[in-house]
């Protein structure tokens, strides 16, 4: 028996997609500023509260936007629940690494990771979908590989933060597109799945007297704010992906790591050595080639229509 049909996909709304993409990438770019507000809280507790408070935020949006019927259909499908469990684990891995990195003064590593992200998506298309890769994209991937090699030599090991972040998010994006449920019900389902271990962990912290929640008003406020800060951009990201061309989303996603890069260097004062500057130079060169290639292909597509 086939899984239930959640909803027919509406015609693309470009203005809605652009607005959602802009909000998403501005929110993700500014996220390190939020993380610094809770940097004294153990990162596992921060993640648990992001999950717990994201669930009511998403559920409220779901109720207001009339998505409860789709949510009920999704909960009746073991296949959808299984797929959502996989995507939930992937996004929680991404959150964990990102939170740890920012709290531990490695925001530049997160910026590099999200600069690499579109190139990882290209490689996934080649490996998983057997897509043909154009020569400009080959050059971009080679330049990114050189950058990773430079950073590996400098650090004496692979820049794991900069690799895990794009790998986990690109895989999440790929699988999320195959999940037969709209953006908001899909994220709400993911948050519901993740809330089970999060509740258990927070309850254990409370029982052991280690919790920061409810002890200090400022800490409590920022931990609660982690919910909407987490939920809204993920929902708007999924909406943008469904309403914009891949080339448009690909170019706009550079907004977030650029803001994070500027915050890391000029606000947090993270060291930006000559070696790291050279590595970023290779990445930026690759991204220029990547963006130009996408722009040219989009223009050709429009001309043929």
Task: Give residue-wise pLDDT tens across range 137-157.
Answer: 778 878 888 888 888 877 677
Measured CA to CA, the distance from residue 107 to residue 223 in angstroms comes to 20
Question: Quick one: pLDDT band at residue 222, thresholds 50, 70, 90?
Answer: very high
Q: How confident is the model at residue 292, as a pLDDT?
A: 77
Distances (CA, A) of 33 to 27, 218, 271: 10, 15, 17
Tell how far CA 278 is from the center of its chain.
26
DSSP 8-state symbol, 63: H
Q: How confident is the model at residue 294, as a pLDDT?
A: 66
Is residue 10 scored above 60 in pLDDT? no
Measured CA to CA, the distance from residue 127 to residue 52 in angstroms comes to 35
CB proximity list for 274: less than 8 A, separation 6 or greater: none
The pTM of this model reads 0.81
Which tens digits make up the pLDDT trace of 171-193?
Answer: 888 888 778 888 788 889 999 99
Measured CA to CA, the distance from residue 109 to residue 32 in angstroms comes to 12
Report which secondary-structure segment, H or E, holds 74. Answer: helix 68-75
Is residue 114 scored above 80 in pLDDT? yes
Measured CA to CA, the distance from residue 203 to residue 52 in angstroms comes to 12
CB 179 within 8 A of CB 234: no
Q: How confident is the model at residue 7, as a pLDDT?
A: 45
Lowest-pLDDT range, 82-86, 103-107, 271-275, 301-305? 301-305
Task: Round the average pLDDT of the chain to a whole number and report it.
Answer: 84
Question: Quick one: pLDDT band at residue 305, thresholds 50, 70, 90?
Answer: low
Instruction: Work out the percent of the chain whose per-residue pLDDT is above 90.
Output: 39
Mean pLDDT for the stretch of residues 16-24: 89
Lowest-pLDDT range, 86-95, 100-109, 118-127? 118-127
Is residue 4 scored above 50 in pLDDT? no
């Amino acid at each position: 028996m086939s899984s239930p049909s959640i909803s027919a996909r509406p015609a693309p709304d470009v203005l809605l997609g652009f607005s959602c993409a802009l909000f998403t990438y501005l929110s993700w770019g500014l996220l390190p500023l939020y993380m610094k507000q809770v940097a004294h809280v153990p990162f596992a507790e921060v993640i648990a509260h992001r999950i717990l408070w994201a669930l009511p935020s998403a559920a409220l949006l779901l109720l207001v936007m009339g998505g409860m019927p789709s949510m009920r259909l999704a909960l009746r499908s073991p296949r959808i629940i299984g797929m959502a469990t996989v995507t939930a684990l992937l996004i929680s891995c991404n959150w964990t690494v990102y939170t740890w990195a920012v709290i531990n003064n490695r925001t530049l590593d997160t910026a590099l990771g999200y600069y690499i992200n579109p190139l990882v998506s290209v490689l996934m298309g080649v490996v998983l979908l057997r897509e043909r890769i154009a020569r400009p994209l080959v050059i971009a991937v080679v330049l990114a590989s050189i950058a990773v090699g430079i950073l590996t030599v400098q650090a004496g090991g692979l820049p794991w933060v900069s690799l895990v972040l794009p790998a986990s998010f690109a895989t999440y994006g790929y699988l999320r597109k195959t999940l037969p449920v709209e953006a908001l019900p899909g994220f709400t389902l993911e948050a519901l799945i993740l809330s089970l271990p999060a509740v258990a962990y927070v309850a254990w912290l409370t029982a052991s007297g280690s919790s920061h929640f409810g002890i200090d008003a400022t800490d409590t406020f920022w931990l609660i704010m982690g919910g909407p800060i987490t939920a809204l951009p993920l929902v708007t990201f999924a909406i943008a992906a469904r309403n914009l061309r891949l080339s448009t989303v690909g170019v706009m996603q550079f907004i977030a790591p650029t803001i994070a890069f500027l915050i890391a260097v000029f606000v947090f004062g993270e060291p930006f050595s000559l070696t790291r500057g050279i590595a970023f130079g290779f990445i930026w060169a690759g991204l220029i080639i990547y963006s130009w290639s996408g722009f040219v292909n989009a223009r050709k597509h429009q001309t043929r229509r």
